[in-house]
């Protein structure tokens, strides 16, 4: 059964969330059981639930005709993926990384031994990215050069 994440007596609302209550037709029965349980427990304190099920096409139409993935030019998708990766990797430079002994890449790059581990980590990232089946995949075309420069190990790149 989905978890009740917020129950407000004043607003008379109850919010369900979690993977068990979202987007899966197989979970509608569980959600209905949860609603029945709440209605039985709370009696006249609650009214009928407001529920809405939308298909992806209905959601797109409601939001002004967002293009589906197949209608968007591939280069736009690539730009979005690369921007997301830039943001994610930029944050990662200041977070502990297991491959680096649970220190940040920036901290690791301050010592000779740390730079060796940073180079191995960057090569690992590049190799995983390059291993995509489709060479045109945005993950496969991502350029890690900025990270090598940012961490001061560009001269160690082979």
Q: Using one digit for the tens of pLDDT, what is the confidence trace for 82-141?
A: 999 999 999 999 999 999 999 999 999 999 999 999 999 999 999 999 888 888 888 889
Same domain, 81 and 48: no
Q: C-alpha angle 74/61/79, rounded to 5°?
A: 20
**Residue 61 is assigned to a structural domain of this protein:** no
The radius of gyration computed from the CA coordinates of the chain, to the nearest angstrom, equals: 24
The count of structural domains within the chain is 2
- The answer on 78 and 49 residing in a single domain is no
Most confident of 7-11, 23-27, 77-81: 77-81
- pLDDT band at residue 62, thresholds of 50, 70 and 90? confident
Tell me, what's the pLDDT at 103? 95
Q: Could you give the CA distance from residue 109 to residue 100 in angstroms, rounded to a whole number?
A: 10
**Statement to judge: residues 48 and 110 lie in one domain:** no
pLDDT tens-digit readout, 38-61: 788 888 777 776 666 667 777 777
Residue 3: pLDDT over 60: no
How many C-beta neighbours within 10 Å does residue 64 have? Answer: 6
Q: Identify whether the C-beta of residue 132 lies closer than 8 Å to the C-beta of residue 138.
A: no
What is the domain range of residue 10? 3-53
130 and 100 housed in the same domain: yes
Flag whether the pTM goes above 0.75: no
41 with 94, same domain? no
């Amino acid at each position: 059964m989905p978890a009740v994440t917020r129950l407000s007596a004043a607003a008379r609302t109850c919010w369900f969330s979690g993977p068990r209550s979202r987007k899966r037709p197989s979970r509608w029965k569980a959600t209905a059981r949860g609603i029945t349980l709440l209605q039985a427990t709370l009696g006249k304190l609650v009214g009928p639930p407001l529920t809405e099920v939308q298909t992806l096409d209905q959601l797109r139409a409601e939001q002004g005709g967002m293009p589906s993935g197949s209608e968007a030019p591939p280069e736009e998708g690539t730009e979005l993926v690369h921007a997301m990766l830039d943001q994610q990797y930029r944050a990662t430079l200041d977070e502990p990384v297991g491959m680096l002994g649970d220190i940040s890449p920036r901290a690791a790059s301050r010592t000779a031994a740390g730079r060796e581990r940073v180079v191995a980590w960057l090569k690992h990232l590049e190799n995983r990215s390059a291993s995509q089946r489709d060479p045109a995949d945005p993950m496969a075309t991502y350029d890690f050069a900025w990270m090598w420069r940012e961490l001061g190990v560009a001269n160690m790149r082979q």
